[in-house]
Amino acid sequence: MHKCMSDPDWSLYRAFLAVMTEGSLSAAARTLGLTQPTLGRQVAELERGLGVALFTRSPQGLKPTDAARALQPHAQAMSTAAGALVRAASGAGDTGRGVVRITASDIIGAEALPPILADFRPRHPGVTVELALDNQQQDLLRGAADIAVRMVRPTQDALVARRLADTHLGLYAHRRYLEAEGAPHTLQDLKGHALIGFDRETPFLRGLMQRLPIRRDDFTMRTDNDLAQMAAIRAGFGVGFIQHGIARRDPDLVPVCPGQLGFRLEVWLVMHEDLRATPRMRAMFDHLAEGLTSFLATSQP
């Protein structure tokens, strides 16, 4: 007799999510550190308990059914809650130890936070940091993360939010590219250069196209990954946007058309109000606020 699905076994849903993510039993089993037969039995048990088929086999692997796609967001919510539960338990009874999960954009997480977190560790050696890079906003109210660095004003209630400062972006190119292709002096000159920009249309891209005489088809490299854009600029591929504070660290990154075009983004530090009384969360929040404020001071035009 199987368990009632109103009281689900989390391990079955974890197996289901792994297969949804990886696309095959073998890959999902490797991810979870299980054998393939064990994982297959868990998926089959979940299907029997729910009374629906979750996957069909195809030459390309396991194909999720409509029922599986409908179930996925709810199973993901369980996964998020399970992660939050583990983080909360990690610090129980010892205020100097535990896990803090931080979410930030790709650029902030890869370029700004590492030195700030490195400075935090000697002061709080018992704290383990989880850093999730995602340009999509994680839902703090559901426990997807403990602290978030956001580039837009938070709108949810029950959040502690502190606006730190603005970060400013400008056009840059590597010195090697400018020596080979010449430096554009006006925005109109950009038409003759290799431009690095976005693939899919975003609010940022729409705003850019209103201020520049270019369109998506004018980008010589298109990628929606901010780190890939920055890597292409550093490699000398062409001209693109970088935060001033990051670009100024590298003397080979040269401003292009300085003062003629720029953007700014608000930077907010956010956490759930229920976490304010947790010492490790408060310590991390205050440390990030101080470190990011110092970083943003270097990003002014």
CATH 2.60.40.3880 fits domain 94-162+266-297:
no
Domain ranges of the chain: 10-87, 94-162+266-297, 167-264
Are 10-87 and 94-162+266-297 in the same CATH fold? no
Question: Which pTM value belongs to this model?
Answer: 0.66
Instruction: Give yes or no for residue 222 having a pLDDT over 90.
Output: yes
Query: For the segment 266-291, what is each residue's pLDDT rounded down to a tens digit?
Result: 999 998 877 777 888 889 999 999 99
Range picked from 65-69, 198-202, 209-213 for highest mean pLDDT: 65-69
Return the minimum-mean-pLDDT range out of 28-42, 112-126, 251-265.
28-42
Give yes or no for a contact between 144 and 103, defined as CB atoms under 8 angstroms apart.
yes
Name the residue among 273, 249, 241, 57 with its Cα closest to residue 157.
273
Q: Give percent of the chain with pLDDT exceeding 90.
A: 37
pLDDT at 139 over 60: no
Average pLDDT over residues 35-51: 84
Pairwise pLDDT comparison (265 vs 119), residue with the higher score: 119
Strands annotated E in the chain: 55-58, 61-64, 98-104, 127-133, 147-150, 159-174, 195-197, 219-222, 240-243, 253-255, 262-272
What would the mean pLDDT of 178-199 be, rounded to a whole number?
91
Q: Is the pLDDT of residue 217 over 90?
A: no
* Residue 2 confidence class, pLDDT cut points 50, 70, 90: very low
Statement: residue 245 has pLDDT above 70: yes
Question: 232 falls in which pLDDT band (50, 70, 90)?
Answer: very high
The CATH number of the structural domain formed by 167-264 is 3.40.190.10
133 vs 102: CA distance, rounded Å: 8
Separation of alpha carbons 3 and 6, rounded Å:
8
CATH second-level architecture of 10-87?
Answer: Orthogonal Bundle (1.10)
| Residue 212 CA neighbour count, 13 Å, CB half | 27
- State the Cα–Cα distance between residues 35 and 293, nearest whole angstrom: 48
For residue 254, pLDDT beyond 60: yes
Alpha carbon distance 237, 132 (integer Å): 28
Average pLDDT over residues 176-184: 96
Give the mean model confidence (pLDDT) for residues 112-128: 94
In whole angstroms, give the CA distance from residue 21 to residue 14.
Answer: 11
Average pLDDT of the residues in 11-35: 83
How would residue 3 be classed by pLDDT, with cut points 50, 70 and 90?
A: very low
